[in-house]
Structure 1
């Protein structure tokens, strides 16, 4: 985690010393009329009702949103923050929210909305995120993958060398995606290994892997294809002829 910079430390100290000591109604009054120093300090506010007025402040901007996403941890406050797409779509805000234990499913859904398959995959494998975000990212990845075009699915599988398939074991590849994967010429050991570990690998893909040059270099793959439950009959016949 990135170490806090000096302005953030000073604003946190200002909040604790000069603002947090007051009760909630008075802190709301401070939030409504805050100057720029107070506004930055209020991004460390712990109360959801106060934070709503902080976000509604006329001078509350992206820098404040980034700070608040790091230091505020109530579900209501973070949901109120991410109502604005400009905040939910900001990379720094999202990075903080992905590690914030206060982020609800609604908050994460708003942050995931514009992410592509590759970014979701990074979150799903535990990079850049806490456990809760990782689990939600996996569900979202499955949905977005299912809604993607055959070409997008194919490129995603190939460019991740099939590592993404671990999240799709309960899913079936559609016919067009299988056809595109079947036409690919395979040279990556990792990609082939991961494809052959996928339970529902279609016959077209097995056929495409079998005719790729990598098979002559790795006889173990040849045996795995022939023993696969979806291995096509023509591949078994060709294997006997060689």
Structure 2
């Protein structure tokens, strides 16, 4: 197989394509970074069959053709292919900009195409949900995709535990569970697997899950960076209970965390994070790091001036900045700060 990297065609609505279950499954495994020759290990399909599926996807417009076009063994859809499932019940993908950072979070998250999610959900609702619970548990232990992915929509924790015990389970299944399962017991079973709990995509969907237990959230996020805590506190896609806990953790981490993280939080948010840190003082190293910088953002200076715990040395440093000397309103705000030097108050 070639080094071609299959990528979704952003100009095509996948919901309007007559995809069969195999094609939908392959689409769900494409992240825009994995090469064609690496896909057999990821999908479980032999190279010849996978090449055939990719060729059909390119011919339908679902994938962008690459510099090395896929050579099809047979581009005619097999007559025995499973019928296309209706994607009308699929849910929209959640917005994630508030949690995106400069790291590889976006690349690590499994953004399964909406149409494929609808296929999995429809498969569960129409074929699997009617089975007795014990049969679904037994099926989950040995199922293959697409049934294994469909069972990730099961609301019963026992089925989710069986899915997690399946030798074929992987990160795409863990992300589906984190995103769609609505029982705390099942979510506890998910995060008990360290490899899944440490995955960026799993964590990203878990914090948006309204059934994520507070204790589990604390365990997963207690030692995360201050910026990550702050992003959760302002993300409207995160349930209020989780955001409230994130604010508590932010204050706890701010009192004990590394000085470099405190400076990063204050500077990167232009001081907006200080509104959640009322009464929280900083140590000498943090003060020294803040005083070692040149300030050019009026918003940052204003927010520090409103911060009652701003250290006296930082207020004095800001009063010496060219930005403050040029803008009397900033100097006035700093001069009125309770920690401002006496000569600034007289001026």
- Return the TM-score normalized by structure 1: 0.89
Matches for 1:144-163 after TM superposition, within 5 Å? 144-163=253-272
Deviations 1:130-186 (A, max 9, x none): 322222222222222222222332232122211111111031122222233233322
Correspondence for 1:188 among 297, 305, 316? 297
Give the match for residue 2 of structure 1.
93
SS of alignment partner, residue 281 of structure 2? coil
Give the match for residue 216 of structure 1.
325
Task: Give the deviation of 1:53 after TM superposition.
Answer: 1.1
Give the match for residue 187 of structure 2.
78
Give the match for residue 225 of structure 1.
334
Runs of 4+ in structure 1 deviating by more than 4 angstroms, as ranges, are: none
Alignment root-mean-square deviation, CA: 2.1
Once the two structures are overlaid, the 10-residue window that deviates more, 7-16 or 111-120, is 111-120
- For the pair 1:90 / 2:181, whether they are aligned, the reply is no
- For the pair 1:30 / 2:139, whether they are aligned, the reply is yes
Return the alpha-carbon distance in structure 2 between the equivalents of residues 40 and 152 of structure 1: 39
SS of alignment partner, residue 287 of structure 2? helix
Once the two structures are overlaid, the 10-residue window that deviates more, 147-156 or 13-22, is 147-156
Distance 1:71 1:81, change over 3 A: same
Gaps of 5+ in 2: 1-91, 95-112
Deviations 1:28-54 (A, max 9, x none): 222223233321111010111221111
Pick the structure with more helix per residue. 1
Return the alpha-carbon distance in structure 2 between the equivalents of residues 236 and 100 of structure 1: 50
Return the alpha-carbon distance in structure 2 between the equivalents of residues 55 and 31 of structure 1: 9
SS of alignment partner, residue 92 of structure 1? helix
Alignment coverage as a number of residue pairs? 238
- Confirm or deny: 8 A CA contact 1:124 1:134 kept in the other structure: yes
SS of alignment partner, residue 315 of structure 2? helix
Return the alpha-carbon distance in structure 1 between the equivalents of residues 325 and 142 of structure 2: 74
- Confirm or deny: 8 A CA contact 2:227 2:261 kept in the other structure: no
Return the alpha-carbon distance in structure 2 between the equivalents of residues 86 and 170 of structure 1: 38
- For the pair 1:99 / 2:208, whether they are aligned, the reply is yes
- Confirm or deny: 8 A CA contact 2:137 2:159 kept in the other structure: yes
Distance 1:106 1:194, change over 3 A: same
Matches for 1:101-120 after TM superposition, within 5 Å? 101-113=210-222, 115-120=224-229
Give the match for residue 11 of structure 1.
120
Deviations 1:187-221 (A, max 9, x none): 21010000001111111111011111112221112
Task: Give the deviation of 1:226 after TM superposition.
Answer: 2.2
Return the alpha-carbon distance in structure 2 between the equivalents of residues 128 and 114 of structure 1: 22
Return the alpha-carbon distance in structure 2 between the equivalents of residues 43 and 99 of structure 1: 17
